[in-house]
Each structure stands twice: as C-alpha cells, then as structure tokens.
Amino acid sequence: MNPYQTRASGCKPELLAPGGSYEKARIAFLYGADAVYAGGRSHNLRIQSRNLHDEELAALAFLARSSGKRLYITLNSLMRPKDLDLLKPTLEYLREIEVSGIIVADPGALLLARTISPGLPLHLSTQASTTNHLSVRFWEEQGVRRINLARELSIDEIEAIRSRTSLEIEVFVHGSMCVSYSGRCLLSTVMTRRGANEGHCAQPCRWSYRLVEEKRPGEYFPIGEDGQGSYILNAQDLCLIEDLHRLAGVGIDAFKIEGRMKGAHYVASVVRAYRRTLDACRRSRGECGPDDISRADIHAVSHRPYTRAFMFPDDSQDAPAVAPETSLVQTHTLAGLVRQRPRLDEDPIGTTPIEDGRTPDWTHLEVRSQLRLGDQLSFLFPDGRNLEHTIHSMESLSGQILDRAHPNTRIRLPIPFPTFSMQVVRLSRRG
C-alpha cells in the first residue's frame, strides 16, 4: 500500500501544526501545514497561549475550508462540573462555524459533544494515553474518528495497533515532551497550584533543582551535571524528521507538531522542514529524509536537545529522553514579520522617490527582535529558499532614518526581492 495518498479532503499523512494564535495559525498554513489545531479561550491545555477569540476562530475556519485545509479545536482539558456547563455554548458555536473537528480527552466532554454537535468529527487527545488496539476499539465505539496515540509508544507498538484498526491514527513527531504519560502529572498542581490538565502547567519538571540539608539553610549542594544545577526531570524535545518515511510506512494518518506556546519563527521553520521532507518522501520511491535546509530549519529554532524518545527503543544511538542540562539552543531568532503596507493616505512617504530617482521597494516589517544596521536578515519562503539581506538602511513608517529598531515597532526596509505578508524573517544570533 502506498502510504502517501492524496484524498479528496487532503493529503495523507496529514501535517498537523500548532496554531497558538490567529497569526501563528495563518503562518502554519502559509508554510505548508495541511491542518492546524487551535484553542479558544477555554477548555484547552494551553491557556497561557494567546489562543483565538470567537471571531478569529470563525475567520480561521472559513480560511481553512476555502483553501482545502482543516482546523481542529482543542477542548482537551479534564473537565470539572462547571466546565461542562461552559462547554455547551462552545460546542454550539463550533458547530455553527463548521470547524473540521474537535479534540477531546475527557469522556464527559465527548459525550456532551456527541449530544450537542453530533456531526462534528471527534478526535481523541494524546492526554487519553491510548496504548493498545482494544482501547482504540473502545474509543471508536464511543464515536471517535481519530486517535492521537500516546507519545510513549514505539513504532512496533504503533504498527501492531495499526494492523488491528481502520480508525485514523495520529502521532506526535516533534516538540516538547512530559516526563510522565502526557499530562498525567500533578507536579505543577502540587508545587504551584497550577494544574497541567487545566492548561496552566508551570513546567516545574524543567526547573533547576539543588540539594539542601535542612539544618544548613541557604547552603545548596549542586547535584547536577552542569554548573547551573541539575535538571533531573528535564525532558528533551522530540524530533522524528529523520524517520518520517518509516513512520508513514506504518500507515499513520497524521503527523502532529507540538508547540502552541512557541513563536512564529518556530511554526514557520518546523512546519516548512516537515512539509518539505514529507513531500520529498512522497515523490521518492526509495529511502528518503530531510535535506540540509530542513535540518537547518529544525536547529534554527529554540529547542532542547533532540531525541527520538520512545519511538525506537532498540536504537542505542538515541540519547536518553531526559536532558542533563536545561539550556535551550537555537541558531536564529525571529527578526520580524512582513506586513502589508499601510494604505497610501496613512503612508504618504512610502511613495516618495529616493535620491537617485527610483522609488525604493519598501518592505514593511513588524519588528520582534532589536535590529541594527549591519544585521543579516533571512527571508523564509515556503519552498525552502532563504533570501538574505544585510540591513544597510531602515526607516520608521514616517520616514525617520534609523540605526536601530526596537521590538514591537514597525519599520520599512528597501528589499530588492518580492516579499509577502506574514513572511517570517530570521536574524542570525549575535554572538
């Protein structure tokens, strides 16, 4: 069987990306995601992310439908009695705006969704920790259409489940991991009263810990592997980009990227890397994997050391899933996002000829990192090209010449190649 099928509703395997905000969801689509999962303002596990308000959800659902993509809404917190009351109007609204499906973990939420929005496809969250084919059958009998299997399974176990079900199967291929079965952890609740399963995880598993003897307050004994302390619970980040072909061969329907709390640079780079690798595998008849551009994309973004975690337990080359150090690494950061020009009446100087008589080809940039003259920018294109530009001049939108631009301002730059709105622009990390 060809694992790469084109279906009327989209490609298989589907590339499913995080949409932590309206902007990031649109960037995910621009850089190649087939589908995006996003949360409203409640009932999801990324309450600290910006998430989307009702109008943004409706706009994104329309955008997805009209461009052959899909939008799934996460409602995967564990529900308390009051949460179920609030869930009813949410479900009615999601049915009305015709999202492609909802992601639940709580059986009560599933039951309610079946009653209130019977036509809405139901996806089971990884929080349900589905680890065998009988569990899959159980959820199928409850009306679930797709299951995101537990992140803790190996490829052999996924294959064994696949061979016993025709239900859609989804797996995480990239992003942060828990040191427990995903989300089945009360560390954050116990230490900070912020419940992970209500979307408030403070990630104490990634804090720096030291040893202190009770009669010697203030004397900290380092127990860690580096000078900053020990990160004994610090999970590495999952990365299975080298293994997509092998995973697709098992018959997985959707590859999911974690990271609704991550920024636009992460979304564009990681989605582009997986999109291009999946497409290369779809075209290839033999072995295939990421090219140098995709590998660079994966390392450009802020991440902990990568691991294949539990997927290939017999591969001795895999690093342990817990990192001895906590530091995030990245080669680039987000310089800014290209924005459409303001209307002419708001930007009269935008058409003023420059000294040699030419009108400069201004690109408007919403700045996200401090920029200085001489900085090297890289404009990311969905097809894998990165066009470089050294900043020799930049201006405010009112025409003031700048030698430095600050985050959360808008500037314009004379860029000698076409750019597009929402384009992600990288900045090389300064030493």
Residue placing its CB nearer to ligand SF4 in the complex, 46 or 412: 46
Report if residue 238 touches ligand SF4, rule: CB under 6 A: no
CB of 185 to ligand SF4, least distance (A): 3
Residue placing its CB nearer to ligand SF4 in the complex, 127 or 419: 127
Q: Work out which of 131, 154, 180, 326 binds ligand SF4, going by CB under 6 A.
A: 180
Listed in order, strand segments (DSSP E) in 21-89 are 35-39, 70-75
Residue placing its CB nearer to ligand SF4 in the complex, 154 or 180: 180
Classified as helix, coil or strand, 420 is coil
CA 128-131-134 angle, to 5 degrees, is: 100
DSSP letter assigned to residue 55 = H
Q: Work out which of 179, 232, 261, 288 binds ligand SF4, going by CB under 6 A.
A: 179
Q: Work out which of 76, 188, 277, 419 binds ligand SF4, going by CB under 6 A.
A: 188
Per the listing, tokens 């591969």 go with 315
HEC per residue, 74-88: EECCCCCHHHHHHHH
- Contacts with ligand SF4: how many residues (CB under 6 A)? 12
CA pair distance 305, 311, nearest whole angstrom: 16
CA pair distance 266, 393, nearest whole angstrom: 27
Listed in sequence order, the DSSP H helices in 97-186 are 107-116, 133-141, 155-162
CA pair distance 256, 428, nearest whole angstrom: 28
Report if residue 10 touches ligand SF4, rule: CB under 6 A: no
CB of 199 to ligand SF4, least distance (A): 11
CA pair distance 219, 93, nearest whole angstrom: 55
Report if residue 178 touches ligand SF4, rule: CB under 6 A: yes
CA pair distance 339, 63, nearest whole angstrom: 19
Window 189-218: contact mask with ligand SF4 (x via CB under 6 A): -------x----x-xxx-------------
Question: Of 176-184, 247-255, 357-365, 423-431, which segment contacts ligand SF4 by CB under 6 A?
Answer: 176-184
Question: Of 177-185, 215-223, 281-289, 290-298, which segment contacts ligand SF4 by CB under 6 A?
Answer: 177-185
Residue numbers at the binding site for ligand SF4 (CB under 6 A): 178-180, 183, 185, 187-188, 196, 201, 203-205
